Structure 1
């Protein structure tokens, strides 16, 4: 069975696999390498819903692996050449899988097509109305918000989100309508493999500087992504971002802007009344939608507004959109309340968040301080990637001004070459923070952080664990059996 043309290299993001058109997976044996990730596990289920026989491999056990097995998808916790099925028609890899991976080498030896996650997802979009949410920040949240609104409004989308949102079925869903909603990730230029009809670009900032040379290259990549939209499609783009015109110049599709500025095509207004924040969305004719914000923060109101405009473009009525936004319950690791901990002196609140970029940290901490009004805000921040920490060190140094205490464990090592570990450490960040007058300390392992929290926790504190690694374990360890909901 011939399904796709193999890329010359799994790391060559520019060699799109969409040249053969929409893919027919009926009866195909599709093997997923790195199947436990949010996107990959969802894509495997989506492929199976289209008639494929799916299996996969990953490195470690966990809830996603257990759920895949419960759903009847075989997963092996080893990654070797022998794991590739004898009758494999296609091998799908996550962005983290490298060219020398044994399963990739074996598939190529046999002549089995190798596609990246984004390449297969892009081909699945070709025979549907694809909606792609792009941006440095807010992709998972906006994608989840949009999916929730579409479901509540009866538009029944298929979706893949890079996070767990129980309200929409987790991180994936197969709907009955000809509509597919997905995140468009700029890492490794993956989003250049997608084929959306409609897209949103929430923001553009420096990130993934292990992939991109500078901000200019990042802007160029987003411009290339925007040019993939067809003339019948649309782009909703952040009005205030400095690179808007560079991204939208020469596009054939409809382009509209969204933001807090009066000049935006869609203007967001937020009334942050304590306990009852309310957002309003305006177009040139006036107010079109209002909703009480279920999650605090200007960034959350903006994400919800982008979801609202997109849902309306896809056919949802404004009144239904506003009602749906008010019932959004959030997603895991995005300003997620975990519970409370009773102390001898009173009570402490614990929140977990995925923020790992300076802008995300600053925005989230400020939102928590304004909304929760804690006596102290304690942040346990786990830097993610040595290269990101090194490239953005001075940005990180100014992103914790809303915190009273910052505890920094070791940097979470992922993707970087081993030599990167010797170029920067958590102590470097702690030194920068202390120079700015912030109470900061470097502690490791996580058990030592929990012990420190036991010593310093006071009534009225808010503890937030933050980072894209496994720092959530600190929150769980501190709450333990003493959790109070």
Structure 2
């Protein structure tokens, strides 16, 4: 049996990142951020302030994210009225969730202030002189891959800027401004997620792009998968000569999307197929597993044209996470990091918020020392749900796997209802609270319910039940969980509150 080489690489030198310096923002720059506590918006605000701007922001309600910004010295107004827009604001940036008739936007238009969407503001940063943009796109895996890439660059002594759609404590949170950019210089390497919703990523012009996957989602704004594929093509078409594209080899849309890349763009594929330019291999038990059980970390290999060039262990289980990590390794290599160093860094990556995040244990009543593991995850698309449930079952080997799934958006639930109905096969029990209502019309709200999904799940042999709310979900779990079980709360809304309730000390429950 061939012995696996670890943390090694045999590759030509990758191109070094650009080093030119950009211009400092004007001292009078006073951007105001509507929805400043959002993951991406707070990152933009932090980068703007680090570059010398006088930043303000607003939020509809208070919460931990807004409190954290205030603790850092950001003025955050609550209430979002016309009079919360500062008199000296020079421009306004709003998240995609902010409607056009929002009072602050109406007031900004009355004053004649420039109004930018989040993606437009991110595109401006990515276009700064002295900035080398890296955009991570795809239907799934953007936050995890972006966090992994940022972690690799930091661990390998680079000075990146980045903006994540989630918080990663290991790399200091959800954003970072390169030390060299403080006071207004270019951002150096800027790694950011490129979201396809509302065609937002068309505002970005990165030098390097990752297309992790292309699937049907956000059909409320696209209407069909064909339109989504075209949209990814427009995004890829913005890459410059000398730039690069890394795209999923197995994606049905690979040829169509790759064909949109202009001349001089280096296009390579990544996947599990032997025909991929970069091939990922996964040993779920890990290379150092004792007989009869997993080591806790999966073993991942990366091969280039049939030759293994790097290997590492990964704390996050599942083929999808191994694939995300490989995308980070290949892209870091493009930015000048030797593959061996990238592999060593990935072995130390511990994860990020709401991605198979361990929230604690639920002490089972009447079972001395007995407990059920509690995990929280952001999965809200059928492909993500299936991959995550299979990873959790294979890695943790629970006695029973419970899932509390909060559907996100009525339109997504309606468009993908058949796919959702087959995504929960790995679970032993599924509790489904009401659909998280966001960005939908009242007509969409009435078109589908959680009960519709539950009926389809039951028809397919899944033990599923609709629960009226989070309190009922937590009460049901407290009554049913036994020693050795695992429960995962799942969805892009606020279903994490169920995990929080289960792991809260009894006196505080």
TM-score, length basis structure 1: 0.93
Range that drifts further, 245-254 or 222-231:
245-254
Partner of 1:295: 316
Give the superposition deviation at 1:410.
Answer: 0.6
- Give the superposed CA RMSD: 1.4
Give the superposition deviation at 1:342.
Answer: 2.1
Aligned positions, number: 463
Of residues 382, 406, 425, the one that matches 1:401 is: 425
Matches within 5 A, 1:44-59: 44-59=45-60
Of residues 253, 256, 260, the one that matches 1:243 is: 253
Distance in 1 between residues matched to 2:244 and 2:42, nearest whole Å: 29
Partner of 2:220: 210
State the SS of the aligned residue for 2:220: coil
Does residue 194 (structure 1) correspond to residue 204 (structure 2)? The answer is: yes
1:204-224 deviation line (CA, Å, top 9, x unaligned): 101011111100010011000
State the SS of the aligned residue for 1:210: helix
State the SS of the aligned residue for 1:211: helix
- The structure, 1 or 2, with the larger RCO (C-alpha pairs under 8 Å, 6+ apart) is 2
Which runs of 5 or more residues in structure 1 are unaligned? 1-20
Which runs of 5 or more residues in structure 2 are unaligned? 1-21, 181-187, 286-293
Contact 2:58 2:79 in 1 (8 A): yes
Distance in 2 between residues matched to 1:25 and 1:36, nearest whole Å: 24
Distance in 1 between residues matched to 2:417 and 2:95, nearest whole Å: 28
Does residue 278 (structure 1) correspond to residue 279 (structure 2)? The answer is: no
Distance in 1 between residues matched to 2:218 and 2:43, nearest whole Å: 24
Of residues 261, 268, 271, the one that matches 2:280 is: 268
Range that drifts further, 23-32 or 91-100:
23-32
Contact 1:22 1:124 in 2 (8 A): no
Partner of 1:173: 176
Does residue 436 (structure 1) correspond to residue 460 (structure 2)? The answer is: yes
Distance in 1 between residues matched to 2:379 and 2:26, nearest whole Å: 36
Distance in 2 between residues matched to 1:371 and 1:23, nearest whole Å: 49
Give the superposition deviation at 1:419.
Answer: 2.2
Contact 2:135 2:210 in 1 (8 A): yes
Contact 2:274 2:306 in 1 (8 A): no
1:210-245 deviation line (CA, Å, top 9, x unaligned): 111100010011000000110111000000000001
Distance in 1 between residues matched to 2:498 and 2:452, nearest whole Å: 21
Contact 2:24 2:52 in 1 (8 A): no
Distance in 2 between residues matched to 1:381 and 1:264, nearest whole Å: 34
Partner of 1:459: 483
Distance in 2 between residues matched to 1:468 and 1:378, nearest whole Å: 18
Give the superposition deviation at 1:22.
Answer: 8.1
TM-score, length basis structure 2: 0.89
Distance in 2 between residues matched to 1:482 and 1:337, nearest whole Å: 19
1:73-119 deviation line (CA, Å, top 9, x unaligned): 10111111111111211100101112211111111111100011111
Does residue 98 (structure 1) correspond to residue 108 (structure 2)? The answer is: no
State the SS of the aligned residue for 1:458: coil
Does residue 114 (structure 1) correspond to residue 115 (structure 2)? The answer is: yes
Distance in 2 between residues matched to 1:250 and 1:407, nearest whole Å: 43
Partner of 1:72: 73
Partner of 1:150: 153
- Runs in 1 of length 4+ with deviation above 4 angstroms? none
Contact 1:23 1:123 in 2 (8 A): no
Give the superposition deviation at 1:26.
Answer: 3.8
Of residues 315, 339, 342, the one that matches 1:318 is: 339
Give the superposition deviation at 1:162.
Answer: 0.3
Partner of 2:237: 227
Distance 1:26 1:122, change over 3 A: farther
Distance in 2 between residues matched to 1:439 and 1:285, nearest whole Å: 44
Give the superposition deviation at 1:23.
Answer: 8.5
State the SS of the aligned residue for 2:448: coil
Partner of 2:126: 125
Distance in 2 between residues matched to 1:258 and 1:103, nearest whole Å: 44
Partner of 2:4: none
Give the superposition deviation at 1:478.
Answer: 1.5
Contact 1:25 1:50 in 2 (8 A): no
State the SS of the aligned residue for 2:164: strand
Range that drifts further, 171-180 or 424-433:
171-180
State the SS of the aligned residue for 1:129: strand
